Structures are given as structure tokens and as C-alpha cells.
Chain A
């Protein structure tokens, strides 16, 4: 009985510590992602993520619904029309071939923390896996 109590409290501490660590990592990713977002995304999608009229779509839930697809968009750009929230957008999005996988993971984490209310990071592994399956350009 005493042992199991000790074990339980040890587990609780362990979980808290892990959560703390992942929360810190999340914050780091969000901070880095914020800076990268300002440089590579905000000109068109705007700092508030609301896009611009019918020229550039907002980063709404509809836009963000498929993470793997968003990862491919960031790396390779978009070269065909898309529909977001019922509106059609037909301006090309430029590719960002210079972005590293870690940087894409940080941008993804920032975007999904800000407009998707997510508290988990998008990992580099997730980005790698998604990029391998991107449709050919």
C-alpha cells in the first residue's frame, strides 16, 4: 500500500515534469515559428492570419483541416485554385524551397497554436513523413 502510494506520486511527478518539458518545447517552437511566419507568410496571409479579401485565403479551420497538405503547401507552394470557406482563390502561392524541416515544423506549430488552438508541437518527423508523400509538383 505504502509502496503503491510512493509509486503513484512518483508517476505524478514524472508526468508533470514531462508536461513541463513539452510545454517549454511548444513555446520555443511557437516563438521561432512566429518569427518565420512574419518573414515567409504574413505578407499575404497577414499577421492576423485573416488573409486579404479574395486574393489570399485566411488561415481558418477549413484551410488548416489537413496538416500533411499544409506542410506540402508551405514547402512546394500551391499552383492550382483552391476553395476555402466556400470562396475560390486562384492565385499561386510561392514555394519555400529554402525552409528546413525544423523551420516548417516551427511554422506549423505556430499556425496551429494560434489558429487551431493546439498545444502540441508539429514534430520534425511529422514534417519529414508528410514531405515524402507530397503530390508531385
Chain B
């Protein structure tokens, strides 16, 4: 009997470690009941990033469709920010260098100062940061829409605050979004440990998709 318990305990440990290889799905979730083959089943509906419309550093309109079938990292910044943004951009550059040229991985940086950060300003910023092409998109657009998607969808703080240095307050988080547009992780974009954890989790997510295909 004791042996059986040990075996069961070991088995449950093994199964847990197996499932922990998958990244958690973050955000509020809902359940819906639906009928399948005459039986009622419960389905979980996860929080997903809805469609959006912004303009990138090339002046092109960008929507959620541009990120179809892509794992992407989202963050919020502004080009004249004297506080955490330069640190975040230095860290994000490491993510960019790591996955440069990988079609499956993208980066989406939203400015929270769209009046100043026009597509031309963003393009020059990207160039000075050593970023070419559009694997890493820097987007601008309607201020309210940017703040709204930041707070309600990516679950980070973004907004104007006259008391903050540079005039805006925002989170230093990097948000990892999967191919189904579900939030799979939040990382501290201002330190090396957070950045390395993000890079590792992107690899884990890519492996999840690769394993599913097989």
C-alpha cells in the first residue's frame, strides 16, 4: 500500500513537471458551455489581444493581422524618456539580436507620446538604436487607443503624468504574446534577469508550437 502511494506521488510529480514546461496563460478567463454531439461541454475562453490599428516607423498601418502566426513581445515607451526607457531599449535590443531574422518572432513597441513620436521620429530612433526592417515595430497612433490597449489588454500601466520625469508614467514590463494572441508572460524589462527569462520563455513557446505540429 505504501509503495503504491509512493508510486502515485512520484507519478503526480512527474506529470506536474511535465505540464509546467508549458507557459501559463495570463489574464481573465471565462468559461462557456456549448453543445458538442448532443453533450454539454465547458470551454475556457482566454483573454486575447483584440484588433488594433497603429502606424509604424515606415508610415504603414499595422493591425493585429501583422502578428498572425507570430510570437511577439510588446512594450510601451517614448523617445524622449529620460528614465527607464533607455534601459528597456538596451534590454529589448538583446531580445532583438537573439531572434533577428526569425520570421516567427516579432517586437512591438508603442510610444505613449504620439504627438511627439511621429513615424519619422520613430524611424530615426530605430535607426539610431541599430534596428533595421520591421521585425521590431515602433508604433504611434491615437493616444487614447494606445493607453487603453496598454492598460486593458497588455495589463501594463501607461499614461500622462505631469509629475513624472518626461511627463509620462509607464510600466517597465515586457509582455509576451503567443500566436493565439494570449498573454503568456510579463517580464521586468529594466533588468538582465527579466530579459533572460523572456528570451528563455520565447524559446519554450516556440518549442510548444513545434511539438504541437508533430
Contact = CB atoms under 8 A, between A and B. Distances in A.
Interface of A: 43-44, 46, 52-56, 91-92, 94
Contacts of A54: 127-130
B10 to A, nearest CB: 47
Interface string B173-200: 0000000000000000000000000000
A55 B80 contact: no
B133 interface: no
A46 B90 contact: yes
Interface of B: 79-80, 82-87, 89-90, 93, 125, 127-130, 165-166
Nearest to B80: A92
A55 B125 contact: yes
Contacts of B85: 43
22 contacts: A43-B82, A43-B85, A43-B86, A43-B87, A46-B90, A52-B86, A52-B129, A53-B128, A53-B129, A54-B127, A54-B128, A54-B130, A55-B86, A55-B89, A55-B125, A55-B128, A55-B129, A56-B86, A91-B80, A92-B80, A94-B82, A94-B166
Name A's interface SS: loop
B80 A43 contact: no
A52 B81 CA distance: 14
A52 B89 contact: yes
B33 to A, nearest CB: 51
